């Protein structure tokens, strides 16, 4: 029992082939070796597993292929004249002395009791205890069988077939003896499937203080290897395992699968080079190729921070920084980083590349805030960072911001003015002064009376006043109240109340499912754009399909449906956002399109050689013509197709069992549409 308890810490709770499912099934795995085929299996239900250990397992081998050809009459051989059951307890003793995993399996099968975490009392608790104990027996046994193939064979959960031939392929069927309620399973394999187990990849080492974090790709290899072993060497020649037992991943969860596996190796000293290599171990006890060795050594952690000592302000955007750090500690670090924020709480950003350990000065000229908080971080060789306290730097600033640019705006029909401009880039920008005049010779007035934050502004003008224009300019202001030169003056025309003249259609054409429209533009001078609109005949609401702000006078609408009647309208918009009338700016068009309609959105064919069939699956494009049915034509590639099936429109999958092996079949799918529109034919090729 002591061996059992030690191994309990390393149980892999989720096994690849033995996940619990609703229906009890024998799950089978197999591997081809040079001159034999090895099998492993288990029942995916703890209760049925316990019963199966009494009933035993039977194995039938069916010869499927010989010399690459299907055997005309399947040859079935019973490999287990007697059902395979666990050997008697006395026969386990020698193996238990040298194999801890055999002890776990023997305890799970023959042990009178099995430790269950947490004591419970009462009749209900006793039942729960029994269920928990069975689950633990089951889980520990499957894990131990994965770790020791020899013990699995002794338990009746593994088999070695040495009566195989190199030119044959077999289907192995494993079932619980005289227990039809537990589904049997098959595995097809031959000696030709033998391959060398590949070495694990992405083997890396990250050094730390007197330890090394080793990592490798787990996701790719977890279905191949049940465990891994890391080996270590001082000289790169003689390697020894870092652990007495193989390493397993305890962090791989069904809802959070692991992509990488880790192992931390502790070191007695830093700065000594160690060599590491890695190999995987399959559930059949096979070792993979060994990875290429990697090297690593421990690195000392840093404990002494740098200290900012002084600064010299060159101008409002440039400063020289100085700091102090012990020279004798330079060999322990990569260097320094300088961080900057506009307040003591941050957030701070890194403003320098890694500065060499011997440097003690930095010139920063990328722009300063009105108040600048600098810190310096020491970077250890293991990327550890130790950051200093902050130092305040405040430059003297008498230079105003740059002149604002990009001022533009619009006045709508209600007299609402919307201004916007390009934002200034100064870090110490306070905001903008908004200046306005009603006439060209009038003095500008600050209409916001303080700095405005943002780069757009909303104002209003009276449409009853006689002035036809209004004038704006803005000036930028910094935190020290330095004001820039004002921007260029923006002149805005007040809106009028007369809509622009209407544009008119001069021609249209309906061809290949598209409608091409041509029109004559409005002759009004204040037109700023056009809106092309569409609706189905009989509907009230118009939908804009194109907004036009340039001189184009032609548009092709390809988002129409065949045989529908549409109405199109073109209207003009002026500077005051007034729209022209629709009265003489409409045209009615009937769409005719004889192009085949793509109807099938998904098409797939899967060759299921085990069950001797091809499974076809498809789906239709949503929001298209309703599909009433489907005609499917079939042929061997290179021969003419013939009608094979006529199906209703609600059928989306079909099986074809009229097949010959090593043939390439073509399926032609032609939907039948309710609208009588021609549907596009889709062709699927499947190699069987």
Tens of pLDDT, residues 426-460:
878 899 999 999 998 999 999 999 999 999 999 99
The tens digit of pLDDT for each residue in 339-388 reads 999 899 989 999 999 999 999 999 998 888 888 999 999 998 878 889 99
**pLDDT of amino acid 11:** 32
**pLDDT of amino acid 131:** 53
User: Encoding tokens for residue 8?
Assistant: 């309990």
The two beta strands, 227-233 and 274-281, are antiparallel
- Higher-confidence residue: 22 or 91? 91
Residue 65 has pLDDT above 50, yes or no: yes
d(CA 599, CA 200): 46
β-strand partners of 293: none
Q: Which has the minimum average pLDDT: 3-17, 290-304, 391-405, 581-595?
A: 3-17
Side-chain half-sphere CA neighbours of 271 within 13 A:
4
* Mean pLDDT of the 481-493 span: 92
Please enumerate in sequence order all residues whose Cβ is within 8 A of that of 212, keeping only pairs 6 or more positions apart, or say none: 205, 206, 264, 265, 267, 274, 276, 296, 297, 298
Please enumerate in sequence order all residues whose Cβ is within 8 A of that of 144, keeping only pairs 6 or more positions apart, or say none: 7, 101, 102, 104, 105, 108, 151
Pick the CATH number of 408-493 from 1.10.10.10, 2.60.120.200, 2.60.40.10, 1.25.40.10: 2.60.40.10
* Mean pLDDT of the 61-73 span: 92
In Å, what is the CA distance from 327 to each residue of 10, 305, 333? Answer: 47, 12, 11
**CATH code 2.60.40.10 for 600-687:** yes
- Higher-confidence residue: 249 or 174? 174
CA dihedral 283, 287, 293, 297 (to 10 degrees): 50
| Residue-range domain boundaries for the chain | 2-193, 204-296, 307-393, 408-493, 504-590, 600-687
Complete DSSP assignment for 302-318: P----EEEEEEEEETTE
The tens digit of pLDDT for each residue in 565-599 reads 999 999 999 887 889 998 889 999 988 777 788 88
Provide the mean pLDDT of the chain: 88
pLDDT band at residue 184 using 50, 70 and 90 as cut-offs: very high
The tens digit of pLDDT for each residue in 278-290 reads 999 988 988 999 9
User: Encoding tokens for residue 370?
Assistant: 């009105």
Residue 9 has pLDDT above 70, yes or no: no
Q: Tell me which residue of 556, 558, 557, 580 sits closest to 570, measured CA to CA.
A: 580
Residue 120 has pLDDT above 70, yes or no: no
* Mean pLDDT of the 134-163 span: 91
* Mean pLDDT of the 660-673 span: 92
Name the CATH superfamily housing domain 504-590. Immunoglobulins (2.60.40.10)
* Mean pLDDT of the 300-319 span: 88
- Assess whether the region 204-296 and the region 307-393 belong to the same CATH fold: yes
The two beta strands, 642-648 and 627-636, are antiparallel
HEC sequence for 538-570:
CCCCCEEEEEECCCCCEEEECCCCCCCEEEEEE
**CATH code 2.60.40.10 for 307-393:** yes
- Higher-confidence residue: 578 or 250? 578
Share of the chain above pLDDT 70, in %: 94
Please enumerate in sequence order all residues whose Cβ is within 8 A of that of 440, keeping only pairs 6 or more positions apart, or say none: 469, 471
In Å, what is the CA distance from 241 to each residue of 72, 77, 245, 265, 276? Answer: 51, 43, 9, 11, 10
- Higher-confidence residue: 93 or 128? 93
d(CA 406, CA 455): 10
pTM above 0.85, yes or no: no
* Mean pLDDT of the 632-653 span: 92
Inter-residue long-range contacts of 600-608, CB under 8 Å, 24+ positions, other chains counted = 600/669, 600/671, 600/680, 600/682, 603/669, 603/682, 603/684, 604/684, 605/667, 605/684, 605/685, 605/686, 606/686, 607/686, 607/687, 607/688
Cβ distance 200 to 246 under 8 Å? no
User: Encoding tokens for residue 201?
Assistant: 């990849």
The most confident of the ranges 169-178, 244-253, 489-498 is: 169-178
Side-chain half-sphere CA neighbours of 631 within 13 A:
11
d(CA 513, CA 678): 13
Residue 399 has pLDDT above 70, yes or no: yes
Residue 276 has pLDDT above 70, yes or no: yes
**pLDDT of amino acid 499:** 81
CATH code of 204-296, in short, is: 2.60.40.10
The two beta strands, 168-176 and 185-190, are antiparallel
Q: How many residues does this entry show for the chain?
A: 688
Cβ distance 431 to 477 under 8 Å? yes
**pLDDT of amino acid 393:** 92
**pLDDT of amino acid 283:** 86
Cβ distance 463 to 416 under 8 Å? no
User: Encoding tokens for residue 512?
Assistant: 């290949």
d(CA 641, CA 634): 5
d(CA 488, CA 34): 86
Complete DSSP assignment for 136-189: HHHHHHHHHHHH-HHHHHHTTSEEEE----TTEEEEEEEEETT-TTSBPEEEEE
pLDDT band at residue 119 using 50, 70 and 90 as cut-offs: very low
- Higher-confidence residue: 164 or 16? 164
* Mean pLDDT of the 200-218 span: 91
**pLDDT of amino acid 124:** 34
**pLDDT of amino acid 575:** 81
């Amino acid at each position: 029992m002591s061996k059992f308890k030690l191994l309990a810490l390393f149980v892999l709770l989720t096994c690849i082939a033995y996940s619990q499912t609703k229906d009890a099934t024998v799950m089978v795995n197999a591997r081809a070796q040079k001159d034999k085929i090895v099998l492993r299996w288990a029942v995916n239900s703890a209760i049925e597993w316990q019963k199966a250990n009494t009933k035993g397992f039977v194995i039938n081998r069916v010869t499927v292929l010989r010399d690459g050809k299907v055997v005309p009459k399947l040859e079935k051989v019973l490999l287990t004249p007697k059902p395979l059951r666990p050997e008697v307890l006395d026969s386990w003793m020698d193996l238990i002395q040298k194999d801890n995993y055999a002890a776990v399996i023997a305890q799970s099968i023959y042990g009178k009791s099995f430790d269950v975490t947490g004591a419970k009392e009462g009749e209900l608790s006793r039942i729960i205890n029994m269920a928990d104990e069975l689950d633990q027996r089951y889980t520990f046994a499957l894990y131990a069988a994965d770790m020791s193939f020899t013990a699995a064979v002794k338990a009746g959960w593994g088999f070695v077939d040495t009566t195989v031939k190199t030119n044959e392929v077999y289907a192995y069927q494993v079932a619980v003896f005289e227990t039809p309620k537990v589904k049997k399973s098959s595995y097809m394999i031959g000696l030709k499937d033998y391959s060398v187990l590949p070495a694990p990849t992405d083997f890396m080492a990250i050094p730390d203080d007197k330890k090394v974090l080793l990592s490798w790709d787990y996701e790719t290899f977890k279905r191949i290897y049940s465990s891994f072993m890391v080996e270590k060497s001082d000289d790169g020649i003689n390697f020894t395992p870092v652990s007495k037992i193989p390493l397993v991943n305890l962090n791989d969860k069904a809802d959070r699968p692991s992509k990488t596996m880790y192992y931390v190796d502790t070191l007695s000293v830093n700065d000594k080079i160690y060599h590491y290599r890695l190999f995987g171990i399959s559930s059949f006890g096979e070792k993979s190729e060994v990875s290429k060795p990697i090297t690593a050594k421990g690195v000392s952690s840093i404990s002494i921070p740098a200290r900012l000592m002084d600064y010299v302000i060159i101008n409002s955007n440039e400063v020289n920084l100085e700091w102090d750090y012990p020279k004798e500690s330079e060999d322990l670090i990569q260097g320094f980083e300088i961080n900057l924020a506009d307040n003591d709480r941050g957030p701070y950003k890194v403003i320098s590349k890694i500065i060499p350990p011997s440097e003690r000065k930095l010139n920063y000229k990328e722009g300063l805030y009105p108040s600048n908080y600098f810190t310096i971080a020491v970077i250890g060789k293991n990327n550890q960072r130790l950051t200093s306290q902050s130092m305040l730097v405040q430059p003297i600033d008498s230079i105003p911001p740059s002149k604002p640019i990009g001022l533009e705006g619009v006045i709508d029909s209600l007299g609402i003015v919307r201004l916007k401009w390009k934002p200034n880039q100064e870090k110490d920008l306070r905001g903008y002064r908004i200046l306005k005049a009603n006439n060209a010779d009038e003095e500008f007035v600050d209409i916001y009376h303080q700095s405005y934050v943002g780069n757009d502004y909303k104002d209003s003008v009276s449409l009853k006043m006689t002035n036809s224009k209004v004038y704006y300019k803005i000036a930028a202001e910094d935190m020290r109240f330095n004001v820039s030169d004002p921007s260029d003056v923006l002149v805005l025309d007040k809106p009028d109340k007369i809509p622009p003249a209407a544009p008119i259609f001069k021609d249209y054409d309906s061809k290949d499912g598209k409608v091409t429209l041509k029109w004559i533009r409005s002759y009004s001078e204040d037109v700023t754009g056009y809106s092309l609109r569409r609706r189905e005949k009989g509907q009230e609401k118009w939908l804009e399909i194109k907004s036009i702000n340039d001189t184009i006078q032609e548009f092709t609408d390809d988002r129409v449906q065949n045989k529908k009647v549409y109405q199109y309208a073109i209207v003009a918009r002026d500077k005051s956002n007034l729209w022209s009338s629709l009265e003489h700016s409409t045209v009615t068009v009937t769409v005719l399109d004889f192009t085949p309609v793509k109807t099938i959105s998904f098409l797939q064919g899967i060759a299921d050689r085990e069950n001797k069939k091809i499974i076809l699956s498809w789906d239709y494009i949503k929001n298209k013509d309703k599909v009433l049915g489907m005609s499917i034509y079939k042929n061997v590639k290179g021969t003419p197709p013939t009608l094979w099936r006529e199906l209703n429109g609600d059928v989306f999958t079909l099986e074809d069992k009229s097949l010959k092996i090593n043939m390439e079949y073509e399926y032609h799918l032609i939907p039948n549409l309710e609208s009588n529109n021609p549907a596009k034919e889709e062709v699927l090729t499947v190699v069987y």
